[in-house]
Structure formats: structure tokens, C-alpha cells
Chain A
Amino acid sequence: MFLLLLIHLLIGIAILLSGDRLGRRAFVVAALAPLATLMWAATQWSTVVGNPSEFDELSHASSAGAQFESVRWISDLDLDLYLRFDAFALIMTLLVSGIGLLVCIYSVGYFSHIKPGQSRLAGLMTLFAAAMLGIVWADHLIALFIAWELTSITSYLLIGNDDRNPRARAAALQAIFITGAGGLALLLGLVIIGQSAGTYRLSELINSPPSGSAVAAALVCILLGAFTKSAQAPFSSWLPGAMVAPTPISAYLHSATMVKAGVYLVARLSPIVANTGHWRLFVLVVGSATMLIGGLRAMRQRDLKLLLAYGTVSQLGFMMLLVGTGEYKIAQAGIVLLLAHGAFKATLFMLVGIIDHQVGTRHIRELHGFGNGWMPVKAMAVIGAASMAGMPPLLGFVAKEKAIDAYLEYGDFAGSSATLVVIIAGSVLTFAYSARFVLGVFGAYGTPDHEVHSRSAPAPSAIFVAPAAVLTVLTVMVGLFPVAISDLTKAALLSLDPDASPSTVKLWAGFNAAFVISLGIIATGTLLVIFRRPVSRFQTACAQPLRALPSSGDVYGGTIRAIDWIARRVTRTVQSGSLPAYLLVILTTVVVLPVIPMLANFGDLPKWIENPIHVPIVAIIIGSAIGAALIRRRIAAVVMLGAVGFAMAALYETQGAPDLALTQFAIETLGTVLFVLVLRFLPTRFIDLAPAVVRPLRLAVSFLVGASIFVFAIASTNARDDVAEESISVEMIARSKPDGDGKNVVNVILVDFRGVDTMGEITVLVVAAVGAVALARGSRRNDEELADLERTEEPVS
């Protein structure tokens, strides 16, 4: 498994590095990765799914068929890459790699006239597939989170790949903001769960469910992550926005795989935590709202792709309702729907892409039916939409039938009957927008004021249509013979919940209540389609008062603007650009933080006069320092400072530190020269423009800084007294000759004992030098620009 992930990464990076050299062949190369994964998955099939007859006899068969693999990663943190491959992971792998392979083939047709930068999509898609497989295979919550975020990032790059298109950039940003915010919540939730359960392994969580007061909050966080990723209300606004990406990307990420990550996570956790906190309530409310809102909005779309996007939102809500209840019978219906949706929605997206590519529009007002050779496209559109609408004998029907049946029979938790009503209503809406899609493709909404292109559009080539055809055949065949996936879904259910007793998936379960409801859905849906004009008018009228309310897109925009506004305000306050203000803050911090604890060490004052020669030197220091503070001519102040420095050097010399004295002397000389160099640019006198209020404050801070340095000096001398015997200086002097091979202890310390410090310091010097040059050149350029300005407009005076 790990090897497959590596293959994905290598292929992806290789494609990215190749730039535009491969052209659309990049997609052929990219297809190798999902192909390898599929082949590997096929070899694992029998191990993972097991012998179906066993399930009938041993209804409590454990998911012993799961494959485990672990790679050492950060063993100190107990963070190893645990991978697990069980039947549910197999289903997701089929979706990720199966549809991935078909999308890669489809892309070869779609990008027939490839533009620069579009081969990048192939590499990013491969990287995305690796991340998605990481989510599906991860057995460690943290690994799952990392893969989760990687899908967000690759999705961001894929949506925004056309970086010159501002709409693509905005949509990409919106997607990553929303899913990223959810990701943060998810991380919080996963960590709480992992800590309270005592294990981060998903496979162990089922046996040691998390307990504790924080778990309820953690579950809300996890649900937030799952809802943002799976575009649930009210976070669904990014998914329609993401439709600016090329259609293969939309078909792959934003209908078949990435948006199902949230569903996947909810499905994994539901059997463990469905009865904890308000998990089920949240899932049911949000899923219901999403299913209805998505359906209603899909019915109003004129862009076929957007119609499908809102349809995806609706279907994702449906899936949440199925997998999030914690009832295994219902979850099995969810698994079937996962497969069915992957098949028909990818097909429909591919068809929209074909129409868009050949005709140049996907707007239903501009489509007027097609000419010769479009028969396969039309047939597949009908079959795909029929599967979406839940028409027998297709896979979508099987899934929906099972869902309604399971809800009727096993929905014994609070709110189950309300949810069933929502599912039925949502299915009616699904029927209606599926019909709208078909009618749109056939040109029923075409208006004469648009030029007719579609009739004369060239029919798509065989390779362009083939991937969609494969999925359509699967939809029909599996719909007719659901026994093909029966064992798979059973094993998947067992891997989710070992206590489950799954049932066989059937096309015809007898003339039961579920079938009657299905017939009712179809009949009501048909009525909605026949009376579509009044329905549409009614919907518009109802939506009118809702317009005043902010949509989720508005909320997103408002949030972003608010964050910007706060950031601007904070920056304006904190980064005022005033040097005195910065200094005030820095110096106050210096005084308050390290010096106040030092007061504890403030012991006895040292002797006032140790050596009579100190008296004149110190007198010079104090006099010059006071002079420097009071004097108003800048140059004189600098000279005073220099005097302080030279006197300090003299002080060092009298204390028997010639090396220090020498250095101090040289530094002081150079410092004065450099001061003068810069002073030329400044007025000759200090001019205090500060308001009268600030002056006492500055004075106080200055005094405090002085006092702190005094405290610091006294405290540090006292600290040395504590270890008088074993003083570090004694040891350094002793070791200087044998270890450092030098008689000058100061230098041996600099280049040997503390050599790494010196290395850091000279690095700082280099950076400072480069920075000084950059600053000076920058300001000088401004000077020149200003001078130019002044030259052009003569000063009035």
C-alpha cells in the first residue's frame, strides 16, 4: 500500500517537473498510477471480501480480512503510518482509482487542444489521488488528518490552476478557506477523540470507544470537518464555485471522490459514536437541510454543470442521512448509494464536459438538440439521469430502494420518520432535476434568440465517450444484477461494524412498501416535470422573500471581509510606523520581563571604590552620559557617547582586560565614524515633536531602562559570588592552553569554547550588512523619485 502511495507521488511529481513537455500525454502517464492501484486491489479482493457463504452462517464474522501495513515515521511521538485495507476501503479505492483511471482517459479527449499549464492538472490529479487513498487507507487519526488536508491543498491547486482567471482564483480560495477551517476543527476533534479513547488507531477505536465529557464537543468538531469537506449546508457554497475547474477535475474531485471524504469519515465513526452526544441529531438535521436545499437549487440552474453540482450537494446530504445514523442496515444502503452515485454522477459530468467541449456551451437555453452521431451521448445522459432519479432497473434505484426500505424497517431512533419524509421529498426533487438535465440535453429549454450551434456540432470521438460508456454499462449491469456488489457491500459493512448482519442487495425485493413509495416518488416527480413552468414560477415566488436573507456565499464573503478589516485595524494600530512607539514597547518589555524576577537576586551593593583610578574615569562616564542625554545637537551627543565608550575602555584596562579594552576602543572609533556618516542625512538638532502627554512617559521608561541595567549588573555580579570556588572562568582559564592551544583566554573562548556563538554572530553581521545596504538603497531610490517630483513641479516658495 505504501509502495502504491509512493508510486502516485513519484508519477505526480515527475509530471509536474516535466512542465508542458508531455502535453496531453501527461494524462496517459497519470493513468498508470490508478491502473496499478486497481490491479493491486483486484489481487486483494478475495482476501478482503472473503467467502460470501461464510456470512450467512457466521453472521458475526469479523473483518479479519483486513490488510495492515505500517511504516516507521516519527517513533518518538508514537506516530507511525498505519495503513489498513478492508472492504470499505476497497470500495473507496474502487471509486478513487476506478474513476481516476477513467477520468485520465477522458482527459486525453477533453484536452485535445491543450493549453500551457494544463498538463500540470495531470500531476496534481495524481497527487490528489495519493492523498485521497491516504484518507481511505489511513488507520491512524493523525495520518488521516494529514491526508485530509493534502486533498484540500491539491483541490485548491486544481481549482485555481488557471491562475489568470480571477474567478478560478476566488473559487479556489473559497474552497480552501472553508475546507481548511473545517480541517482545523477536525484536527481538534480527532485529538480529543484519540486522547480520550487512548488510541489513535481507527481499527482499535471500535473496541475502545472514546468516553469522557469532552467527547461530545470533539464529535461536533469532527462533524464540522466532515460537513465542510462534503459541502453540507451551510458550507456548500464552495462546491458550485469549484465548477470553474475543467470538467475532468469536477467529475473526479468534486463529485466522485474528495467530497465523499466527509461521508467516508462519518461512515467510519458512526457505528462507534452515533449514540454519543448529539451526533445523530446533527447528522440528520444537516443532511436533511442539505438534501432539500441542494435539490431545490438544482432545479433552478440553467448551467448543466452547476445543475449537477447542486445535485451532488443534495446527494451528499442523502449519503450523510444514510451512513451517519449508526444503524448498519441503513449504512449498507449508504454504501450502495456511494457506488451508484460515483458511477452516475461521474458519467453525467463527463457528458456535460463532452457537450461543453464540442458545442462550446453548456447552458440549457443555448442547446437545441444534436445532430448525427450524438446518439450514444444522448442515451448515456438518459441512463445516467435515470439512475440519479432512481428509476428501475438501474443502480441508483437499487440504492434508493434499499435506503427507503431500511428506514421503514430499522428507523427506530428519534427523528427517523421525519428523515424518511425528507428522503422521499428529496428524491422527488432529485427526479425533477434529473428530468431537467435530460430535457436540457435534448434542447427542450432552447430559446430561439441564441444562435443554434448544437445541431451542427461535431460528434465526439470514441475515446472521448468511452470512459462514460464504461460507467454507464456498469450502472446498468450492476443495477440488473446487484448480486455482483452484494458481497462487497456486506464485507464493507462488516468492516465498519463487526456486529452487523448485512443483508443481500436485491433489485426486486417484492411488492413492498418501499416499492410503493418509489412509485409514488416517480409519479410525483413526473407531475413536477409536466407542470414545470408553474412549479418554476411558484419556486421563484417563494424564493423572493428569501433573497433578503444572506446566502452562504454572502456569509463567506462577509467573513472574509471582516477578517480583512480586523487585520487592517490591528496592523494599523500595532505597526504604526513610529520608531519611538516601537522603541517604547521593546524597552518596556525588556524592563518588565527579565529584570523584575532579577530583583530577587539583588543582594548587597559592591564596594563603592575599589581602585582610586576609577574615580576620574567614572566621573567622565557619568558626565558624558548626562551630557549626551541633555545636549540638543546631534553631533555633540554622538561625541559624548563616544567619550562614554572610550572611558569604558579605560575602565577595562585598569581591571586588567586589555583584550576587552582594545575591542571597545576600536568599536567606539568606528561607531563614531558610522554615526557621523548617517547623521549627515538628519537635522543637526534633536527636534521633539511628541505631544506633551507622551514626554513624561518616555522619561519614565528611560529611567526605568537605566535602573534595570543597574539591577542587571548588580544581580549578575552577585550570581557569580554563589559559585565563587568552581567559577566557570577559573575552569576556562585552566583549560585554555591544553584544550584551545592559546594563551589568550578571551580569544580561545571566542574561537573555540564559544565558537558556535561566534559563528552565529558573524552570520548576524552578514545579514545586518546586507539589510543595511538594502534599506539605504531603497530609501535612496525613493529620494530620487521624490527629487524627480520636486523637479517637475517647481516649489512655490
Chain B
Amino acid sequence: MRRSLVLDVSVRLLYPSIIVLSLYFLFSGHNQPGGGFVGGLAASAAVSLRYVTGGLEAVRRSFRSEPPTILGAGLALSVGTAVFPMLLGGAILEHATLELHPPVLGDIKVTSALPFDVGVYLVVIGLILMVFEAFGDDRDDEMEMVEAPTVPATSVREEYRALTQHTSSSTQHAAASARLEENETS
């Protein structure tokens, strides 16, 4: 895989914009279309753009915390917000509103749904990061990877052999694809 300059540059521009958009979704979600889930998905889309250009390494560099930490923090925040009113003697998820009047920004209303939504947001991002950790590859590995054989398999074992052929030489695959072409032409 070759690096594309256009892609690299545009992703560098797009990534922060999408993240800002996702934060907008997150914070405006209570009154406008959006919310923690959509926000998290948008942020994840930004992360996947980074994966396309920079591989797993770029994804890892996007966040300072480890994916499991983000995942766990999100869950803890959401569940904590839900359970906290119970500690004060209320019902689970009972909501409260805090109205702030800072001098410049105008009126700000914070509801207790916000930390809950932030938790959801973090869980979604954490999930995507975990999936990239699980199935993604470093750019270097990726460059070594060759397309899986396209010859029709004749047994289940053969069909899934591709899974085991990370390291096998590319010449075999070249031969395989050549054979396929023969089949198709004949």
C-alpha cells in the first residue's frame, strides 16, 4: 500500500474537525439531534480515517489513554451517574439541572444527563479502539500483507488457510492469482 499525499493531508485537516463535530453532537444532544452515541460514532469515524492513513500506530497516537481505560472510564462514568442519585436517596437515574451564568458565555444549563452521555461517548470510542487493536495491523505489517488467495477452495480447511498465511511469501500468492486468471480466462 502506498501512502497518498492527498489522503494524508486531507485527513490531517478532517480529523480535528470531525472530533469537534462529535463534541458538538455530544453536548447539544439533549436539545438538538445528536447525543453521546452519535457523537461517539462520529469520533470513531475520525479515528478510522486515521487508521486508513497511518495504520494502527496512528490510531494509538490519537488518545493518550489505553483503549481499555477509555472503555472502563466511560462505563464507570455512566453507571456512576445512574447510581449516584440512589446514594442520595433518590431513584436510579434521577436527573438534576444546574444553571450557570458565567459572564461572557451567556446562560449554560447542565443536566445530569450530560455525564451519562459522556460515558456513552467514551464507551463507543473505547469499543472502536479495542476493535482496531484486535483486528487492525501496523502499517508495516500491512505493507507486507498480500491479498488473500482468490482460487476457489475445495475444503473448509483450505478456505480458511488465508487466516494462517500472514507470513508466507508473496510469490505463492502471485502464483495463486495467476492460476485464478487462467481459470477465468479458460
Q: Which residues of A contact B (CB under 8 A)?
A: 658-659, 662-663, 666-667, 669-670, 673-674, 677-678, 680-685, 687, 689, 740-744, 746-748, 750-752, 755-756, 758-759, 762-763, 765-766, 768-770, 772-773, 775-777, 779, 783, 786-787, 790-791
Contact = CB atoms under 8 A, between A and B. Distances in A.
Contacts of B134: 772-773, 775-777
A486 B150 CA distance: 93
B131 A772 contact: yes
Contacts of A677: 131-132, 135-136
B23 interface: no
Q: Which of B42, B134, B150 has the most CB of A within 10 A?
A: B134
Nearest to B137: A680
Interface residues of B, number: 66
B75 A762 contact: yes
Contacts of B162: 681-683
Contacts of B79: 759, 763
Contacts of B67: 769
A605 to B, nearest CB: 31
B34 A662 contact: yes
A759 B36 CA distance: 12
Given A742-B31, A762-B75, A769 B48 contact: no
Given A677-B135, A685-B152, A775-B134, A741 B95 contact: yes
Nearest to B95: A752
Contacts of A752: 93, 95, 113
A667 to B, nearest CB: 6
Nearest to A762: B123
A766 B133 CA distance: 14
B95 to A, nearest CB: 6
A670 B150 contact: no
Given A741-B97, A751-B35, A687 B111 contact: no
Interface string B112-132: 010011011001101110111
B75 A766 contact: yes
B126 A769 contact: yes
B167 interface: yes
Nearest to B168: A790
Would you list the 5 A-B pairs with minimal beta carbon distance, nearest first? A666-B41, A776-B134, A742-B30, A769-B130, A743-B31
B152 A687 contact: yes
A279 to B, nearest CB: 55
20 contacts: A659-B34, A666-B38, A677-B135, A677-B136, A682-B163, A683-B148, A683-B149, A689-B159, A740-B95, A742-B30, A747-B34, A747-B35, A750-B35, A752-B93, A759-B78, A769-B130, A770-B130, A776-B134, A777-B134, A790-B167
B148 A682 contact: yes
Contacts of B68: 770
Nearest to A754: B93
Contacts of A769: 67, 71, 126-127, 130-131
A756 B75 contact: no
Given A747-B117, A776-B135, 5 more contacts: A666-B42, A687-B153, A741-B95, A741-B109, A747-B34
Nearest to B29: A747
A751 B71 contact: no
Contacts of B149: 683
Nearest to A666: B41
A497 to B, nearest CB: 56
B21 to A, nearest CB: 11
Contacts of B42: 666
Contacts of B111: 741-742
Contacts of A783: 163-164, 166
Nearest to B111: A741
B72 interface: yes
Contacts of B32: 743-744
A751 B159 contact: no
A659 B78 CA distance: 21
Contacts of A684: 147-148, 150
B94 to A, nearest CB: 9
Contacts of A766: 71-72, 74-75, 123, 126-127
A683 B150 contact: yes
Interface string B58-77: 00000000011001101100
Contact of A755 (B72, B93, B147): B93
Given A659-B35, A670-B128, A677-B136, A683 B153 contact: yes
Contacts of A681: 135, 148, 162-163
A742 B167 contact: no
Contacts of A772: 130-131, 134-135
A159 B18 CA distance: 65
Given A667-B41, A677-B135, A741-B30, A689 B72 contact: no
B167 A787 contact: yes
A450 to B, nearest CB: 60
A759 B124 contact: no
Contacts of B113: 740-742, 747-748, 751-752
Contacts of A748: 30, 113
A787 B44 CA distance: 33
Contacts of A674: 131, 135
Nearest to B92: A756
Contacts of A687: 152-153, 159
A755 B112 CA distance: 12
A642 B126 CA distance: 23
Contacts of B31: 742-744
A747 B116 CA distance: 11
A790 B159 CA distance: 17
B46 to A, nearest CB: 10
A561 B72 CA distance: 45
A751 B131 contact: no
A762 B119 contact: yes
A673 B48 CA distance: 7
B145 interface: yes
A321 B71 CA distance: 67
A630 B145 CA distance: 28
Contacts of A787: 164, 166-167
A744 B72 contact: no
A783 B92 CA distance: 46
